[in-house]
Structure 1
Amino acid sequence: MEKTKDQKMENIEMNAGEEMLPTPAIGEDRIAQPSRRLMRGAHLSREDRMFGWTLKGGALFILILFLIVLGVCFVTAWPSITKFGLAFLWSSAWNPSRQIFGAFPYLVGTLWVTGIALVVAIPVAILSALFLSDYVPKWLGGIVSTLMEMLAGIPSIVFGAFGIAFVVPLLRDHVEPFIARTLGAHWDFFNGDPMGYGILAAGLVVAFMIIPLVATVTRDSLLMVPREMVEASYALGATQVETLLFVKLKAVIPGIIGSVTLGFGRAVGETMAVLLLIGNQGSIPQTIQDVGYTISALLANTFTYAVIDPLYSAAEVELGLILLLITLVMNTLGRKLLMRLMGGRLAGSVGGG
């Protein structure tokens, strides 16, 4: 007993005068704590402080730029906001000569094109990512990955020209008549006049544009799954398909949601390809073969003339604010969902919160 007390006294004397470091929180790196305290303290050199303020200035510039864009758009759209109010969202009238404006047809067209694009793109992109991560031969993997990345960088006007030259004739002569004969016999939404141009053509081409983006992010997420998880699954007797579907795919659900959010942002704001294919008619589409108009296509097509009339330009800028709000809401919902799936760890993992 006396020996134990003497050992405790010796330990206390050895630790006397030393700085007691705070116990790090769960999940924090103990080694990184001294460097964090140094970054906050006064022991930084002048060059370090200047570099830190430069980094803070770069981050602050992004926030200031966003606030400036938002403020300018809000001030420009204020005459339309005060005159039409919330009725602007569900009004279908758009008559610049009489200064009557409503966003509903363009909002519906935007959502229909984006919805069709996501419905087509997400399954194809996920299947492509699964093939590229686990089944593709080594000699083919690099070629396909390079082509996919090149496809993601093709300008939208090229996709629009491809849609006019290939997609529109294909839909008009073969696909849309087939849909009208089969699905259209039971549901009116799939019926209509086979013109080729319309929300279906625009949605398909936008889907072609976002498939490389969603597939690339999903493939990278699958490749980052720890090898220990895969080997443990095989050790428990799982097959390659079971490991892929129930281990790897489940582990990368946050990455898939992030890629879909990026694809949504690309699809909802796509302009030139949609402008060439959707038909540019300010009416509410009743069937999948109808023509329509999206917010981005309307702004690209008419904003040059709208600046002549202050109320006309204010109404179109308000449409842009609606598009911005839709994107912000989707990104926020995607982030909340990711945080729930990751058990609240998103803020620490991506530098938020």
Structure 2
Amino acid sequence: MRYKFLAVVVLLLSISGFNAATNFTQCLEQVQNGAFGTGKIGATDNHGNILEDVKQATGLTYGLCVMACGSGPSPFRWTVFSQRFSSWLLPWLALVSQLPFGPKDRLDNLKSVLLTIGSPMLAAYSLALTVLNGRWIARQFSKHNYPNIRNAVRVLSSLQQAPLRVTNEDALLASLIVLPHNDEWWRELIEWLAYPHTWSISAATSIAWVVVAYLFIVIGFLMEDVTRFTAHGQESLWLWLLPIAIGWLQLSPKCDEVRVRSAVERANKIAYTPTGTHPVLVQEHTEQRAIYLAFSEGDEDDDVLRRDERVTAPIYSYARFLPWVQAVERVLETFEVVSGRYRRHESVDPDITG
């Protein structure tokens, strides 16, 4: 009974609050019409300067506001709220739906969305880092000449959103580059990684709808009173996300964890390594691979430290940047050695001369 009484009291207070609410727009109009006097009574411009002509007022001092309008809140109008909330929320949803996802865990996908929306600088940094990494790797590898070097650039650039690892144990990396049998490894991996996350009809429609919505906001601002600028500013808060979404659509990052993992594992099944007589499949020789993805490693502490690195959403590029560069440097060093011998027409095997 006590809780029912409290509920009734809260309801009555809410109703009385709505009834006692103040219409500030109407109050300002009354001041402009001279209902509370003329001259310097407290009517101000947008900069807070008190005006002589109350008809030009766009604001009120606190004292005049309390005297003329009262101290009650502005009335809640559902139609105004729903319209503004929709114009604020729908562009967010349209743009967020075009962001690149990829982690197998749905919670990681949700966290990547919240990180992107909550940290515009991190979102822009991740996008810029991906672009600059692509330019850097192309520039570094362009200094050398070897048959598979272009394929290597495409593969390594496509694996920016994955926990890339490279090892030359048992000369696996060198054989991956040198052996003609492994030419198919590079070609097949490029083909298996060539799944699109780029412009489509739905993506173009969403972006176009957002642009049109923003144009409507600008037109509405120009046609209405300047005092409503704050409302229009809130409706366009999502504008920073537009270039981020367009940028990722242009780059088409390979961040689908399942597909990236599957592509690398399938390619490693056709990798060859040399023996004393003839090349054999690596899987028949060792469990190690020259290029692999470290989505799971045995050390528990390492799992905790590299948690963000293993989440393939592009927003986590900050965690993959240094390990990815380290892996690329290892591949680059090997290409540098073999391309030097290739240029001098020397055998890649130092034991073979002449």
Does the TM-score normalized on the shorter chain lie above 0.5? Answer: no
In our comparison, the structure showing a higher alpha carbon Rg is 2
Question: What TM-score do you get using the length of structure 1 for normalisation?
Answer: 0.27
Question: What TM-score do you get using the length of structure 2 for normalisation?
Answer: 0.27
